[in-house]
Structure 1
């Protein structure tokens, strides 16, 4: 297939994911107003103006173009542009709808730390025991792990993977300076279901990959999805990112995607310091997370309401937090920032 046809296929693919996200959110909003009009009063967000919609569309088009160009430039194979968990989508999408009554009930009764009796909550930090995104059983059930990727793609209108992939170009460029690719070690902190690790494997086929997460359910899901890939299976470990179970100066690169907005301030700092500890001198640490107020002040109300709309109790502090200062406090230097669509990136280096 020619490059022009491949690009058209990719644009059509992304447009379909975007339309699906919009359609789902529209239908679920209408259903909520019809079935449970009083169940989520705090989730009423201000309307987005036509100008804001235009800005969002321009930002979305821009990240998709960067995504395409990175594939064209050989950062990663074009095939991962079409990597989507279709089997999970058809299997689990009905459960997204079936989960809505439980979400409405918890929201109406303000039960934001509600877990089923079958879920073992012992040993986890208190800030983690939340129904983030109004997820049933938070991040501690297999059902939550099965629905997560679908729900995040719906939230970002099909652009979540494109945002994840923005960590790949700077990391690959950094690791290209090492003479033995098979000896390079890369850790993904809070790896979740393994989406970022899938992209890391496609981009760095010879590297030794590692992943940590607090949720055993999400690690089971990640292990299942990653076992489908050729090559060496990433080593997955259940661990709190505030106390990583690795030796000092062990990794050449560390990534963390969509974690920091779900951490209270003190935990954010501790995770950064742990990543500094286990990173080799000269190593690179890349954070991908939500944009902050300083990046898009025109979306101030939308960001401020996001914390209640999707139950993100630490998000309001995050959007004004100075992560550059936190990285410098830990010892990182030469810190770069990038913004793509609704995500922000910090690319930091540990001094030689």
Structure 2
């Protein structure tokens, strides 16, 4: 297949996912207003802002394509879609929506199934983030999560995750004397393993590690990662505030969509832990939500996100100075990027 045809196929593929996500949101919102009218008030988004959002999405997809074309990762990764999970879990997602709407309207933020053990977790984690059933603490939640996020972002979640790969590969160049198999990369709060899967595609021989607080999400990650070629990443259940690794152990550390779900003091402790386990000269990369400082024109969307979803620490996150936090921990040479609705911070530990 020619590059032009491949690019056109990719654009059509992504456009289809975007339209599907939009149709799902419209239909589910109308149904919610019939069955369980929401008491929450969100700001209507002006047409000009929606056009900016679409342009941001187009720019993201162009960068995604360019990185694949330049060999940062295989082109096949652009078409990686969990179709089996879609057909298996999309009906379950619809069946779960009435409970989600009821939970949101009743402001039940810490409601868990009887078989879910919530003992031993930090209080900030025992939440129904996004009003989702069982928060992050059940196999049911883990099975639906990737599909929910893909729909939320109009099919662009993986494209945003992949933006860490170019700076990751660039950051590892300082360790040119280290063999690929000796290169150790940690993904903090790895969830269902989607980021680790992308890293494996880009760095096929690296030794990969992942931590997460949720045993259910780690089980889902093992299910996903065991289906791809290469050594299975070493996954551990662990709190990012106390990473179970030696000082200066990893050549690179990544964290995707974690920090907006942490209280401010915990954000700092996690950054300091990431600094501790990163080798001198190593790179730390954060991917998370946009903030007011880099995307002030997106304020209505950030406000709506805070109002619509149960994200108790998000509003504080939008004005938090992550660069300052990274510098306080000891990181240097900090750069930032913005792609669509996500922000990236790339930091280096002094050699």
TM range, smaller chain: over 0.9
For residue 69 of structure 1, give the secondary structure of its aligned residue in structure 2. Answer: helix
Equivalence for 1:46: 43
* CA–CA distance in structure 2, aligned partners of residues 214 and 253 of structure 1: 20
- Provide Cα deviations, 1:170-212, integer angstroms capped at 9, x if missing partner: 1111223423111100000000000000000000001000000
2:72 to 75, 80, 85: 75
Q: Return 5+ residue gaps in structure 1 as ranges.
A: none
Q: Which residue of 1 aligns with 2:58?
A: 61
Task: Name the structure 2 match of 1:248.
Answer: 247
Quick check: 177-186 or 273-282, which moved more?
177-186
SS for the counterpart of 1:41 is coil
Distance 1:295 1:322 in 2: 11
Equivalent in the alignment of 1:155? 152
Give a deviation string over 1:208-251, Cα, whole Å, max 9, x none. 00000000000000000000000100000000000000000000
Q: In the aligned structure 2, how far is the partner of 1:344 from the partner of 1:162?
A: 13
Q: Which moved more, 1:100-109 or 1:66-75?
A: 100-109
What's the offset of the Cα at 1:15? 0.4
What's 2:293 paired with? 294
Q: Which residue of 1 is the match for residue 321 of structure 2?
A: 322
Match of 1:172 among 161, 165, 169: 169
Is 1:14 paired with 2:14? yes
Q: Distance in 2 between matches of 1:202 and 1:302?
A: 33
C-alpha displacement of 1:110: 1.1
8 Å contact 2:45–2:300 — kept in the other structure? no
Q: How does 1:141-220 map to 2 (within 5 A)?
A: 141-177=138-174, 178-179=176-177, 180-220=179-219
Aligned to 1:30: 30
> d(CA) in 2 for partners of 1:338 and 1:153?
21
1:294 Cα deviation (Å)?
1.7
| Cα deviation, residue 101, structure 1 | 1.4
Whether the 8 Å CA contact 1:324–1:335 is kept in 2: the answer is yes
Instruction: Please report the TM-score for the alignment, with normalisation by the length of structure 2.
Output: 0.98
1:109 positional shift? 1.7
Deviations along 1:123-177, one digit per CA (max 9) or x if unpaired, are 1000000000111000000010000000001110011111000000011112234
Give deviations 1:72-119, integer Å, cap 9, x for gaps. 100000000001111100000011111111112212221101111110
**Structure-2 separation of matches of 1:54 and 1:315:** 24
Instruction: Give 3-state SS (helix, strand or coil) of 2:244's partner.
Output: coil
How far apart are the structure 2 equivalents of 1:259 and 1:245? 18
Moved over 4 A (4+): none
Give 1:308 shift. Answer: 2.6
Question: Could you tell me how far apart the structure 2 residues matched to 1:282 and 1:207 are?
Answer: 17
User: What is the DSSP-based 3-state SS (H/G/I as helix, E as strand, rest coil) of the residue aligned with 1:319?
Assistant: helix
The secondary structure found in structure 1 opposite 2:319 is coil
* Whole-angstrom CA distance in 2 between matches of 1:334 and 1:58: 29
CA contact (8 A) 2:188 2:240 kept: yes
Deviation of 1:49 after TM superposition, in Å, equals 1.2
Corresponding residue of 2:262? 263
Contact 2:260 2:317 in 1 (8 A): yes
Equivalent pair of 1:283/1:349 in contact (CA under 8 Å): yes
The residue that corresponds to 2:307 in the other structure is: 308
* 2:126 is the counterpart of 1:129: yes
* Equivalent residues of 1:63, 1:163 under 8 A apart: yes
Contact 1:45 1:302 in 2 (8 A): no
Q: Is the 8 A contact 1:21 1:157 kept in 2?
A: yes
Query: May I ask how many residue pairs the two structures share in their alignment?
Result: 349
Map 1:333-352 to 2 at 5 A: 333-352=332-351
Q: CA RMSD in A?
A: 0.8
Alpha-carbon shift at residue 252 of structure 1 (Å): 0.2
